[in-house]
Chain A
Amino acid sequence: MSIDMAQFHQVFFEESFEGLDAMESGLLNLDLGDVNVEDINTIFRAAHSIKGGSGTFGFTAVSDFTHVMETLLDEMRDGRRKITQPAVDVLLGSVDCLRDMLQSIQNGSEVDQSDVAEHKLALDNELNNAVPSSPTGRHAPEASAPKSAAVLPAEEAEQIAGWVIAFSPHLHLLKTGNEPVRMFRELAALGQLTTTVDLQGVPDLDDLDPEECHLSWKLRVLGDIPEAEIDEIFDWVEDDCDLAKQPIYKTSTSSAQTQVSADIAIKPVTNIVPREISSEFASTSESESNAPERKSGKKEEVKAAPKGSSSIRVDTSKIDTLINMVGELVITQSMLSLLGEHFELNKLDQLKNGLSQLERHTRELQESVMNIRMLPISFVFSRFPRLAHDISSKLGKKIELKLVGEHTEVDKTVVELLSDPLVHLVRNSLDHGIEMPNVRLAAGKPETGTVTLEAYHRGGNIVIEVTDDGKGLDKDKLRAKAIEKGLIDPEAILSDKQTYELIFMPGFSTAEKLTDISGRGVGMDVVRRNIQALGGNIEILSELGKGSTISIHLPLTLAILDGQSIAVGDETYILPLGSIIESLHVKEDRLNRVAGKGETFLLRGQYLPIIRMHQIFNVPTAKTTKLTEGLIVVVEGQGLRCGLFVDDLLGQQQVVIKSLEANYRRIEGVSGATILGDGSVALILDIPGLVRLANQ
């Protein structure tokens, strides 16, 4: 039977990456002063599973590598090896290396052999440097002796005509699930079998326990059968029976041998030899011989490799809910179709009820389906303990990372796109926010700095905050820098908020020098752009000497939008509800037309530009072109505020966002499309895009 093992690979990769994450967080959380055995066990188990799976699925390089990690962890688990920080660091490095290896294999790209060899060497050194307290380690040098010759007796070189076996099961043999008949069947498969049962051990019927085995046998099997095959049959029961075997030789002495065999002393057979010694040593020396000098400079690009086909793990309870919903929907549907078959007007109420039920079920179904895409934010947060560990040890800072609200759920797409901006922000906090321990002490702060990552829901948004109790932003420095870089006018009057927002301007960097931690050429402006591209915004609060908080607000999902329908002529457009501030009829005396600068209107002392929808979208059917007759919808997007001139407001509704680009292309001023209740398509407006259009 041939089975395509490739069908299990995707699952294997997924669980291995999960296992690696578990190992990583387990290693990071180890308290070296007081190690919890269960913690080590969890780490060990993850390594063990990856080794088992990779071996089974044919990724021998991975299983070889994991084997060394497993050995190290096994010794730690048994208390044979002391757990030291260097060892933990080596293991952490190996976790990274293993992740890269698996990613390469998954993507079908080349595994970085030198990186693997480097980490394997480090692991081997760790294994060998600190010899475990008990010499039972499989890596003890004396274990390199060639396989014991005792396994194969020299006599076996002679031609074997068969075997005589004395087999006396212990009383409990049956209770191990082993069945003598099965072994006889297997022996019979090897050659002609003769069995002689010995009933001497059977007690009187009164004393007989039917669950015990009181019989013993003399077995004779004929044929040129290697000893190993005989051993394999009795492998499982060697401790549950007395077993002796004797070969029958084809030479003239065979009869004498057979004769002797009947009287051979019964003694347990022991021939277990650790199987992995030789291969393990081969790989150890190999990795030493080609250990590279190279440092892991190209790690970033390996990580940047594209991920394979994306899949999502769904809690079974969510699936169950979904199935229930569909069940209800089917019932409602059959009820309605029954009603339709013999419809009379007096059944109108029934029909209305049925339809409202249908509506409810459909809405619930939609919610449940959307719910499937929701993942806990911990998918992003989980990488930060490692980041904090690495950065603090690199910079000699003391930092505690707190994660709050990790179970807050957010759409899968948001989770994926949020990752990079968040890494940047956390890096910034760790690198620039938190001061060195001595600086902190001098400032009267605790030596250990705290960085808090918090996620929570507010309204239809998810809010993520990165807070540190570090040195905070220096407004004067920010201002000076912005002036120096020509980003603001020296005379400009800025509020506190506006001053902090300077860090989001392109070409602004507060770090005195670029470090290899934060200075990756990506500025806060890019972070802000990415967040805004997700339909969110980012804010910063800071106090000099006390610390900073950066908040990101994002929509919970990118697939559904709370929308406000607006009418322009006979066309319908959707505005994101969150972008609407208010809508109003404007009076003539509030309008201001500036030649060449467009139209503005006065709203609470501020002049806002007016964007005529009928104009920028060339709507031929617009009801009115007089500003005082239509409606002004005040909207805000990416910090831009303006008044959209439309004919009318229609209803509010949740709309499913569809891509225009899937079959068509990007249209300026439009972020996507949706399908309305009547089946027609309405475009979803993009405010910054509208502003750009109006300025053209």
Chain B
Amino acid sequence: MSEIIELSITDQQDAKRLDTSLQFLSFTLGQEEYGVDILRVQEIRSWEPVSRIPNVPAYEKGVVNLRGAIVPIIDLRERFQLGHSDYSPLTVVVVLQARMADKTRIIGVVVDSVSDVVDVNKKSIQSAPNFGAKVSTEFINGLVSVNGRMVMLLDVDKLLKLDGLDGEDES
């Protein structure tokens, strides 16, 4: 009986937290720290060789076989023009789910390292300022400060759309 009561309290706490806060997976690209909605993260894998795709931008590294599905791998560092870094077995691929129209698409993004899962109070999210030419702000949802570090929150759906991965854009 006591177990059940405990559970329901936890549920309530969860509900409360969901209401006011979001969880993000944070990772680094060079000196910068980014975050993606934890609900969009399917899994985290280590880098493995990809099959190259011809005639696509260099940041689209290729495709891999993810349990029978063909999944593209995007190098976010190169995508954000933060320079190239060599891959090692420690290089991390974050597999994300994005929603396109009524379909869910899966995409892997190469990041330098995964840092943490952070709880972010919705109220503490600031709108993204203009970063200048360095990073396109179009796929930045907002900024948040975590222990004094600035984390840029990425909008996964927009990220894919801008990359023309929605299957309709043939460019």
- Chain B residues with Cβ under 8 A from A673's Cβ? 51, 63, 70
Interface residues of B in 27-71 (CB under 8 A from A): 49-56, 62-65, 68-71
A667 & B65 in contact (Cβ 8 Å cutoff): no
Task: Report chain B residues within 8 Å CB of A591.
Answer: none
Give A566 Cβ to nearest chain B Cβ, in Å. Answer: 14
A151 interface residue per 8 A CB criterion: no
B-side contacts of A658, CB under 8 Å: 68-70
- Shortest 10 CB-CB distances between A and B: which pairs? A617-B54, A681-B51, A664-B72, A661-B167, A675-B65, A673-B70, A663-B105, A663-B106, A665-B167, A658-B70
Instruction: Tell me the nearest residue of chain B to A682, going by C-beta.
Output: B51
A322 to chain B minimum Cβ distance, whole angstroms, is: 19
Nearest Cβ on chain B to A687's Cβ, whole angstroms: 15
What residue of chain A has the Cβ atom nearest to residue B106's Cβ? Answer: A663
* Interface presence of A660 (CB below 8 A): yes
Asked if A664 and B70 sit within 8 Å, CB to CB, the answer is yes
Are B53 and A683 within 8 A (Cβ)? yes
Contact of A666 among B69, B70, B105, B167 (CB under 8 A): B167
- Cβ of A616 under 8 Å from chain B: yes
With a cutoff of 8 Å between Cβ atoms, the chain A residues found around residue B14 in the complex are none
Mark B residues whose CB is within 8 Å of A: 49-56, 62-65, 68-72, 105-107, 164-167, 169-170
A576, CB-defined interface residue at 8 Å: no
Q: Say yes or no: is A618 at the interface (Cβ < 8 Å to chain B).
A: yes
A679 in contact (CB, < 8 A):
yes
Give A678's nearest chain B residue, CB to CB.
Answer: B65
Q: Report 21 cross-chain contacts, Cβ distance below 8 Å, ordered by A residue.
A: A571-B52, A617-B54, A617-B55, A659-B70, A660-B63, A660-B70, A662-B69, A663-B70, A664-B53, A664-B63, A664-B71, A664-B167, A667-B54, A667-B55, A667-B56, A668-B170, A670-B53, A670-B54, A673-B51, A681-B50, A683-B51
Contact with B along A541-585 (1 / 0, CB 8 A): 000000000000000000000000000000100000000000000
Question: CA A637 – CA B31 in complex, angstroms?
Answer: 50
| A681 CA to B61 CA, complexed, in Å | 13
Interface readout for A616-628 with B: 1 if CB under 8 Å, 0 if not? 1111000000000
CB distance from B158 to the nearest CB of A (A): 16
CA A592 to CA B51, docked complex, whole Å: 33
Cβ of A622 to closest chain B Cβ, rounded Å: 12
A669, A680, A681, A693 pick with most chain B CB within 10 angstroms: A681
Q: Which residues on B sit within 8 Å (CB–CB) of A682?
A: 51
Report the separation of the CA atoms of residues A668 and B166 in the bound assembly, to the nearest whole angstrom. 16
How many angstroms from the CA of A679 to the CA of B48 in the assembled complex? Answer: 12
Q: Are B69 and A665 interface neighbours, CB within 8 A?
A: no
For residue B87, give the distance in angstroms from its CB to the closest CB of chain A.
16
Contacts of A665 in B (CB 8 A): 164-167, 169-170
A670 to B65, CA, bound (A): 17
8 A Cβ contacts from A13-69 to B: none
**Provided the pairs A659-B70, A660-B70, A681-B63 are in contact, do residues A666 and B51 lie with their beta carbons within 8 angstroms?**
no
Q: Which residues of A are interface residues toward B (Cβ below 8 A)? A: 571, 616-619, 658-670, 673, 675, 679-683, 693
B164 adjacent to A669 (CB under 8 Å): no
CB nearest to B108 among chain A residues: A663
Which B residues touch A664, using CB under 8 A? Answer: 53, 63, 70-72, 165, 167
Docked complex Cα distance between A663 and B95 (Å): 12
Select which of B62, B65, B107, B170 is within 8 A of A679 by beta carbon. B65
A550–B141 CA distance with the chains assembled, in angstroms: 58
Complex CA–CA separation, A258 to B22 (angstroms) = 81
**Chain B contacts of A617 at CB under 8 A?**
54-55
| Cα(A675)–Cα(B107), bound, Å | 17
Q: How far, in angstroms, from A142 to B164 measured CA to CA in the complex?
A: 72
> In the complex, which residues of chain A have a beta carbon less than 8 angstroms from the beta carbon of B70?
658-660, 662-664, 673, 675, 681
A661: chain B residues at CB < 8 Å are 167
Chain B residues, Cβ within 8 Å of A663: 69-72, 105-107, 165
Name which residue of chain A comes closest to B160, CB basis. Answer: A663
Whether the Cβ atoms of A618 and B55 lie closer than 8 Å is yes
Q: Which of A663, A669, A693 has the most CB of B within 10 A?
A: A663
Q: Is the CB of A681 within 8 A of B64?
A: yes
| B52 to chain A: closest residue by CB | A571
If A666-B167, A681-B51 are given as contacts, then 9 extra A-B residue pairs at C-beta distance below 8 Å, sorted by A number, are A663-B107, A663-B165, A664-B165, A664-B167, A665-B167, A667-B56, A670-B54, A675-B65, A680-B65
Q: How far is the CA of A215 from the CA of B163 in the complex (A)?
A: 88
A660–B65 alpha-carbon span in the complex (Å): 11
Give complex CA distance A616, B55 in Å: 8
A314 to B105, CA, bound (A): 30
Q: Give the residue of A616, A660, A675, A680 whose beta carbon is less than 8 angstroms from that of B68.
A: A675
| Contact of B55 (CB < 8 Å), options: A662, A668, A675, A679 | A668
* Nearest CB in chain B: distance from A661 CB, A: 5
Specify which of A660, A665, A669, A693 lies most central, judged by the most chain B CB atoms within 10 Å of its CB. A665
B160 CB, nearest partner CB in chain A, Å: 9
B107 to chain A: closest CB distance in Å? 6
Residues in A with CB closer than 8 Å to B170 are 665-666, 668
Identity of the chain B residue whose Cβ is nearest the Cβ of A613 in the assembled complex:
B54
How many angstroms from the CA of A617 to the CA of B53 in the assembled complex? 8
Contacts of A669 in B (CB 8 A): 54-55
CA distance A550 to B54 in the complex (A): 38
Question: How far is B76's CA from A492's CA once the two chains are assembled, in angstroms?
Answer: 56
CA distance A693 to B170 in the complex (A): 14
Q: Using Cβ atoms and an 8 Å threshold, which residues of chain B touch A670?
A: 53-54
Closest Cβ of chain A to B119, distance in Å, is: 30
Expressed in whole angstroms, the Cα–Cα distance for A664 and B107 within the complex equals 8
Per the bound structure, the CA–CA distance linking A679 and B50 in Å amounts to 11
Of A619, A658, A664, A683, most B-chain CB atoms within 10 Å: A664
Distance of A9 from chain B, by nearest CB (Å)? 22
Tell me the complex Cα distance, A240–B99, Å: 68
Distance of A571 Cα from B53 Cα, bound (Å): 10
Contact (A618, B72) CB under 8 Å given A663-B106, A665-B165, A666-B170: no
CB distance from A668 to the nearest CB of B (A): 7
Assuming A617-B55, A681-B70, is B105 touching A662 (CB within 8 A)?
yes
Whole-angstrom distance between the Cβ of A423 and the nearest chain B Cβ: 28
A254 to chain B, nearest CB (A): 62
Contact of B53 among A659, A667, A680, A693 (CB under 8 A): A667
Q: How far is the CA of A58 from the CA of B72 in the complex (A)?
A: 48
Distance in Å from the Cβ of A309 to the closest Cβ of chain B?
13
